[in-house]
Structure 1
Amino acid sequence: MRAALLLALMLVAAQGGPSLAQEVSARETRCWVGDVAFTAGVGINAGGGVAVCRAGTGWEAGEPDTPVVGCVLEDKFSSIGAVVGIRNNDSLLLQCDPSGRWTTVNTRLAGD
């Protein structure tokens, strides 16, 4: 009888856990993209436009003129203007442009 009562109490306690976790996340002041955390007010390129991190609600659509802070590639953040190499490619690099998109940069001269 004691084991059944203890099991029932454990089940009730376990069900109360997620509601507490949801309550805490509602007060979250950061937004995430992969393993990268952004503070409230930050804008990033979200494919079809700009997304802005809003405290408590997460990512929301931003205005077209919202400034972005950089680019995310493979769960790593890079600032505007950053250049990264492309694996197994000697002639192209990626550069984070002011819109928050990665663009390719050709490293070979026209005569090569």
Structure 2
Amino acid sequence: MKQLELKGFWYYGHIPRLLVSCPELKHLCIEKHEDSYWIEPKSVPTCMLTNLTTVEFSKCTGQKCDKEFLEYILGNVKVLKKVIITCENSRVEEDPSVAVCEVT
């Protein structure tokens, strides 16, 4: 599998365990659910060390669990080229701010 999109209810701790079964993954798209929480895994999936080049994270609210999850991803993905983070603004949901970062 080269691309994975995660939407709906899940918690961040499931993602690394899921990625273990996707060693060829290049693109990861995550849509955050309101009730997400983070528990740091003990190991880093192979795809994060060798193939994952794009991470897209939407509906980020800036909660502690969002920050911890993003720190884990950004700190462990070794061949990352592009990160897209879409942050929700609770006051203006129809006009989210988007941060796109190209890694060179």
Task: State the TM-score bracket (shorter-chain normalisation).
Answer: under 0.3
More strand by share: 1
- In the superposition, the TM-score normalised over structure 2's length comes to 0.24
Structure of greater Rg:
1
Q: Which has the higher contact order (CA 8 A, sep 6+)?
A: 2
Give the TM-score taking structure 1 as reference length. Answer: 0.23
